[in-house]
């Protein structure tokens, strides 16, 4: 039906070879930096390695640079660099697999810097001074670097209501904006309130991963056209394994809707593991036409369709619209899938010109030119 247990175990989250972490052929990278015990390793383990949030309590401090490749589907692949706590690129030496990693190589290329602020560590200002220093050094190397601030661990007794969360957000924004006001560089800063105990960390990392996708505007336009033509309320393009959405339409993302779509994927996977097993060894219990339709008691329909390897389109709409336009929806989703393959298809390499070949400007037969 959709995905098997064996398939989940084969997801590619691997150690990065030392020689393939930078250079022209390197994958885009997410750089996780922050103080010790701020939750950097827990974030990437929960989202990309399916570790339970409660299990992260037993993780030790990150002592050295840890680089993982994430390649859950054919279209979106990147590296995650998990740095030791309190790493200072201006003063600290960094080793990976016995090789020195230059500070300048960290921030070059296609990268997003994610700074983790521990919202439960008091006073919070002591963390922010080190993070501001990291931002300054990073932007001197790469002025186009995107910087995302995760105000993390917004859970527990300290943050039972929205008021303390908003106060913490204001304090962090005020400090960082004031500290960076010296710079003439247009630093792109975004702030996220996150916790590994709910879907906020998945939502935050979804927006980070989207920054690594050059085709994102095209994907968003495709989803906008889809929901407009099919009278849908919301659509997501999901990485099935991590529950990260790599694109969505122009309508705002409500956390309840996002959680509902994630729950749908979980149920589809669970049902597939029970009823979707294939008799043929090595064959997945789904194909290009796999889909799931959930009808909720409030008159809402959730529609899920596989559109790529571990890539799923999840749409939300009213039951009346689905019943009236089911054929149209199937047709448009098939068109979406075909177009998606075209969007991510690599451009053909230009054919090298043969040695000694003359251009038309140099004089083609009958042109009258010497």
Find out whether the peptide bond into 77 is cis, omega within 30 degrees of 0.
no
pLDDT at 356: 56
Confidence bin at 365 (pLDDT 50/70/90): very low
Closest to 234 in 3D by CA, of 324, 303, 296: 303
Task: Answer for the pair 310, 241: CB distance below 8 angstroms, yes or no.
Answer: yes
Specify the pTM: 0.84
289, two tokens: 């036409």
Quickly list DSSP for 154-184.
--SGGGSSHHHHHHHHHHHHHHHHHHTTT--
Query: Taking 90 as the threshold, does the pLDDT of residue 4 lie above it?
Result: no
Going by the DSSP 8-state scheme, the letter that residue 55 receives in this structure is: G
CA distance 103 to 139: 12
CA distance 253 to 272: 28
pLDDT at 270: 79
Element (H, E) at 307: strand 300-308
338, two tokens: 């075909």
Torsion of CA 26, 32, 36, 37, to 10 degrees: -120
Confidence bin at 355 (pLDDT 50/70/90): low
With 0-12 / 13-18 / 19 or more C-beta atoms within 10 angstroms meaning exposed / middle / buried, residue 201 is buried
User: What is the arithmetic mean of pLDDT over 13-26?
Assistant: 53
CA distance 306 to 238: 9
Cβ neighbours for 143, distance < 8 A, ≥ 6 positions apart: 185, 186
pLDDT at 196: 94
140, two tokens: 């001197």
Q: Which of helix, strand or coil describes residue 73?
A: coil
pLDDT at 359: 44
Query: Taking 60 as the threshold, does the pLDDT of residue 3 lie above it?
Result: no
CA distance 177 to 194: 20
Domains parsed from the chain with CATH numbers:
5-210 (3.40.50.300), 216-343 (3.30.450.190)
- CB atoms near residue 102 (< 10 Å): 13
Rg (CA), the chain: 24
Reported as a single tens digit per residue, the pLDDT across 223-272 is 999 999 999 999 999 998 899 999 999 999 999 999 999 999 988 887 87
Confidence bin at 308 (pLDDT 50/70/90): confident
Reported as a single tens digit per residue, the pLDDT across 101-156 is 888 889 988 889 999 999 998 778 888 988 998 998 898 888 889 999 999 999 88
Task: Answer for the pair 145, 189: CB distance below 8 angstroms, yes or no.
Answer: no
Confidence bin at 68 (pLDDT 50/70/90): very high
Task: Answer for the pair 208, 30: CB distance below 8 angstroms, yes or no.
Answer: yes
Cα Dmax for the chain: 86
Please, how many CA atoms are within 13 Å of residue 111, restricted to the half-sphere of its CB? 25
Closest to 146 in 3D by CA, of 183, 178, 186, 175: 186
Which is it for strands 188-193 and 311-318: parallel, antiparallel or unpaired?
A: unpaired
pLDDT at 2: 38
Ranking 91-95, 165-169, 174-178, 271-275 by mean pLDDT, the lowest is: 271-275
CA distance 99 to 18: 8
CA distance 231 to 266: 25
pLDDT cut 70: percent of the chain above it: 82
CA distances from 104 to 23, 92, 138, 139 (A): 12, 13, 8, 10
Confidence bin at 277 (pLDDT 50/70/90): low
Higher confidence at residue 291 or residue 47?
47
Locus of tokens 């974030």: 43
CA distance 273 to 267: 10
Ranking 279-283, 293-297, 308-312 by mean pLDDT, the lowest is: 279-283
pLDDT at 351: 62
245, two tokens: 């959405």
Which is it for strands 111-118 and 146-152: parallel, antiparallel or unpaired?
A: parallel
Going by the DSSP 8-state scheme, the letter that residue 48 receives in this structure is: H
**Average pLDDT taken over every residue of the chain:** 84
Higher confidence at residue 123 or residue 51?
51
CA distance 370 to 363: 6
Going by the DSSP 8-state scheme, the letter that residue 28 receives in this structure is: P
């Amino acid at each position: 039906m959709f995905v098997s247990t064996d398939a989940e175990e084969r997801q590619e989250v691997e150690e990065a070879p030392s020689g393939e972490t930078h250079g022209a052929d390197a994958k885009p990278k997410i750089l996780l930096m922050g103080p010790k015990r701020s939750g950097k390793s827990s974030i990437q383990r929960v989202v990309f390695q399916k570790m339970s949030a409660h299990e992260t309590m037993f993780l030790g401090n990150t002592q050295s640079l840890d680089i993982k490749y994430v390649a859950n589907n054919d279209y979106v692949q990147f590296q995650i660099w998990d740095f030791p706590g309190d790493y200072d690129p201006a003063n600290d030496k960094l080793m990976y697999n016995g090789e020195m990693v230059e500070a300048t190589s960290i921030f070059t290329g296609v990268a997003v810097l994610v700074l983790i602020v521990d919202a439960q560590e008091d006073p919070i200002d002591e963390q922010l001074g080190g993070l501001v220093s990291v931002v300054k050094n990073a932007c001197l190397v790469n002025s186009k670097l995107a910087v995302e601030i995760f105000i993390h661990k917004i859970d527990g007794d300290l943050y039972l209501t929205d008021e303390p969360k908003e106060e913490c957000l204001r304090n962090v924004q005020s400090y960082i904006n004031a500290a960076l006001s010296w710079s003439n560089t247009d630093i792109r800063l975004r702030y996220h309130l996150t916790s590994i105990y709910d879907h906020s960390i998945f939502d935050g990392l979804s927006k980070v991963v989207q920054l690594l996708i050059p085709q994102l505007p095209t994907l968003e336009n495709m989803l906008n056209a889809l929901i407009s033509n099919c009278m849908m309320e919301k659509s997501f393009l999901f990485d099935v394994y991590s529950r990260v959405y790599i694109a969505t339409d122009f309508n705002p993302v409500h956390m309840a809707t996002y959680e509902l779509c994630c729950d749908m994927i979980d149920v589809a996977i669970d049902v597939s593991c029970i009823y979707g097993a294939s008799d043929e060894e090595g064959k997945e219990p789904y194909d290009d036409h796999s889909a799931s339709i959930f009808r909720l008691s409030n008159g809402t329909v959730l529609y899920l369709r596989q559109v790529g390897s571990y890539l799923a389109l999840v749409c939300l709409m009213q039951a009346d619209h689905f019943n009236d336009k089911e054929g149209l929806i199937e047709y448009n989703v098939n068109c979406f899938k075909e177009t998606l393959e075209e969007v991510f298809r690599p451009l053909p390499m230009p054919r090298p010109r043969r040695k000694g070949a003359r251009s038309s400007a140099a004089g083609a037969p009958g042109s009258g030119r010497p």
